[in-house]
Structure 1
Amino acid sequence: MSQVDLLTPPASSQTARFADGFGQRSLLTIDTEEEFDWEAPFRADGYGLDHIAALSGFQQFCEGIGVSPVYLVDWPVAQDARAQEIIGDAIRRGQAEIGVQLHPWVNPPHHEEVNRRNSFAGNLPPELEAEKFHRLRDLVEENFGAVPLIYRAGRYGLGPHTAGLLGEGGIAVDSSVRARFDYTDEGGPNYSRHPVAPYWADAGKTLLELPLTTSFWGMLRQQGQQLYPLAHRYPLLGSILAKTGMLERIGLTPEDITLEEALRAVDIAIDDDLPLLVLSFHSPSLAPGHTPYVHNEDDLDRLYDWLRGVYSYLRARDVRPTTVEEIIASAVR
């Protein structure tokens, strides 16, 4: 496992298969994290957790639509008594799952300089990345009373040694790959060549990668894998492709993606026989004023309308919600 590099696009032979009857499923993941200023430099303190109370209403909403969310919890949230009560109760009732999300700038030990490059945990010295991860993983298990089976690197910041430490920590699933996105301009990973379909990260099939779902839409969508990196490099080209409807990149998130766009992305994913659609958003978006996506109550209503509309459409298309445990059990080894 220690030799596996999640930064390298996998071979086609690594594509995961699932048991007969699994069909096409959806997984809702929540980056459950502290509030911070998205425009300011990273800092180890000065964050907030005011939105945590909103998790209770969100959990009730999920149960109402038959969805079991996966809370990917970072260090500040793992320490919060309200989060432990709300999420812990849902886990005990079998209505939610827990995972870990590493935000290195707020996660001890603090031996590194806090800056943009080091906000990607995979850029840290291997020993420091491992110590931060293990402290967080153990804290999550202790405070929520459940063994975390899934990991997401904050800011999608995988590194060459991350797969090895996940194996050491008993993590069976990673969901850090944001397929079709490139963060090298900020010092982060490049996932522009990674597939959106789940795949095995290692030959022994012990670590399953669940990339976040992103669809290409438009007349040139079949060439999206080749064209979009150019559009990223030349913003004018990307603007022209989007405005003309020739090529759009649509992630399955209520943050900055309209319901109409999301439904188009769902159609593409279904038509492409994607076995698992991975949705995501950041927990501070559950209260106004904490992210660039939810400024007021109207924005919050739109977020819930988005989730309601997407899950209604998924049901109509026979894409059922699933859980991490079910995915692990259904993966063919």
Structure 2
Amino acid sequence: MRPIARPARISQIAHANLLVPPEPAQQVTFAKGFGPRSLLTVDTEEEFDWNAPFRADGYGLDHVRAISGFQKFCEGLQVTPVYLVDWPIANDPLARDIIGDAVRAGKAEIGVQLHPWVNPPFSEEVSTHNSYAGNLPPDLEEAKYRKLRDKIEESFGTLPRIYRAGRYGLGPQTTRLLSETGVAIDSSVRANFDYSAFHGPDYSRHPLTPYWTDAGRKLIELPLTTVFWGLLRRQAPALFPLATKYPLLGSALARLGLLERISLTPEGVTAEEALRAVDIAIDDGLPVLVLSFHSPSLQKRHTPYVRDEKDLDALYDWFRAVYGYLHQCGVRPTTVAEIMRAVDA
């Protein structure tokens, strides 16, 4: 049996590179009776054409008004959403009012989401490669991050304690940046996804369970929840890359109930699929199920997932079905603050 890592071994992972899968000894444990819980994260961002090249201007914020209705909807479900805010949102007066009021009332939480292509300072070429903040020169990633983090604290009057890199684009120095600025949780790792073909990170070997990223145990990685479902799900690490490379194979495996990748999001995932994913996550003993979606989906025609009113109704129905099932399974909603309190270091 491999011995548990000693303090000297753990010290070697100080400010670890989050692109590298963690050691087993880094797994977070929670206070007895805490899990399982669910956390709703909202990538709260500007509207842009998902099929067009990235650009630093020309975006919209028309959907921001719809956040008010969504917030009331969440309150009806007794869910506290975490709004992961980027630069255009942090600078929008209406967004500051709607989200800020909910945060001050203790009915929402605020976090940081870095979209480098719309976040000053601007000195890089706007490109797919540079849309991942972790690909930027270290000093530029830091300058953009610190400017955004400070703006969020100024706009919303609270210290953001959770971070998500836009496009899940972590870099080698991101852990240090977060640890130095009081962030307690990162949720940029999209486990079971590989973005390397598009200049992004490879998270295909990362676990779904929360883990410590640093020797001082000050920063937790809380991966987004994506599970494999099907008779061959235990063979997914070997099979799924082939299914991705050959779409017809992937479709056949899913159709036959052999292998399917399911994320806990209403964007591109049906409620029926999500309920199956919840079952797998509970069976696997995940202490926190992390749900996510993009705020522009709260209004039609801003994302590929919500094209009309029917799609918008389906998005809200998805949340009703999923949270109803989570309640039935004994999975209660949680918050960033509650997670931090429950950590047994």
Please tell me the TM-score bracket, short chain as reference. over 0.9
Once the two structures are superposed, what CA deviation does each residue of 1:98-148 show, in whole Å capped at 9, x if it has no partner? 000000000000000000000000000000000000000000000011110
Question: Counterparts of 1:137-286 in structure 2 under 5 Å?
Answer: 137-286=149-298
Q: Matched residue of 2:292: which SS?
A: strand
Q: Matched residue of 2:150: which SS?
A: helix
Moved over 6 A (4+): none
Pick the aligned partner of 1:29 from 23, 41, 45.
Answer: 41
Task: Give the alignment's TM-score, normalised by structure 2.
Answer: 0.95
The answer on whether the counterparts of 1:35 and 1:284 sit within 8 Å (CA) in structure 2 is yes
The answer on whether the counterparts of 2:14 and 2:215 sit within 8 Å (CA) in structure 1 is no
Q: CA RMSD in A?
A: 1.0
Q: Matched residue of 2:312: which SS?
A: helix
Pairing 1:287–2:294 present: no
Shift of 1:245: 1.8
Identity %: 67
Stretch moving more, 197-206 or 257-266: 197-206
Q: Matched residue of 1:29: which SS?
A: strand
Once the two structures are superposed, what CA deviation does each residue of 1:160-218 show, in whole Å capped at 9, x if it has no partner? 11111111211110000000000011100000000111111112211100000011110
The one-letter code sitting in structure 2 at the alignment partner of 1:145 is G
Shift of 1:222: 1.3
Once residues 230 and 203 of structure 1 are traced to their aligned partners in structure 2, the CA distance between those partners, rounded to angstroms, is: 36
Q: Matched residue of 1:6: which SS?
A: coil
Shift of 1:235: 3.1
Shift of 1:236: 3.6
The answer on whether the counterparts of 1:2 and 1:161 sit within 8 Å (CA) in structure 2 is no
The one-letter code sitting in structure 1 at the alignment partner of 2:135 is N
- Aligned position for 1:112: 124
Q: Matched residue of 2:78: which SS?
A: coil
Structure 1 residues 102 and 2: CA distance shift in structure 2, 3 A: farther
The answer on whether the counterparts of 1:192 and 1:229 sit within 8 Å (CA) in structure 2 is no
- Aligned position for 2:321: 309
The one-letter code sitting in structure 1 at the alignment partner of 2:342 is S
Pairing 1:136–2:145 present: no
Once residues 151 and 273 of structure 1 are traced to their aligned partners in structure 2, the CA distance between those partners, rounded to angstroms, is: 24
Q: Matched residue of 2:140: which SS?
A: helix
Q: Matched residue of 1:100: which SS?
A: strand
- Aligned position for 1:100: 112
Pairing 1:63–2:75 present: yes
The one-letter code sitting in structure 2 at the alignment partner of 1:328 is M
The one-letter code sitting in structure 2 at the alignment partner of 1:124 is L
Shift of 1:233: 3.2
Once residues 198 and 265 of structure 1 are traced to their aligned partners in structure 2, the CA distance between those partners, rounded to angstroms, is: 18
The one-letter code sitting in structure 2 at the alignment partner of 1:249 is R
Shift of 1:21: 1.6
Shift of 1:246: 0.7
Shift of 1:280: 0.1
- Aligned position for 2:61: 49
- Aligned position for 1:330: 342
- Aligned position for 1:13: 25
Aligned length: 333
Once residues 215 and 231 of structure 2 are traced to their aligned partners in structure 1, the CA distance between those partners, rounded to angstroms, is: 36
Shift of 1:2: 6.5
Once residues 15 and 44 of structure 1 are traced to their aligned partners in structure 2, the CA distance between those partners, rounded to angstroms, is: 38
Once the two structures are superposed, what CA deviation does each residue of 1:40-68 show, in whole Å capped at 9, x if it has no partner? 00000000000000000000000000000
Once the two structures are superposed, what CA deviation does each residue of 1:66-94 show, in whole Å capped at 9, x if it has no partner? 00000000000000000000000001110
- Aligned position for 1:78: 90
The answer on whether the counterparts of 1:2 and 1:165 sit within 8 Å (CA) in structure 2 is no
The one-letter code sitting in structure 1 at the alignment partner of 2:46 is E
- Aligned position for 1:121: 133
Shift of 1:292: 0.1
Once residues 108 and 156 of structure 2 are traced to their aligned partners in structure 1, the CA distance between those partners, rounded to angstroms, is: 11
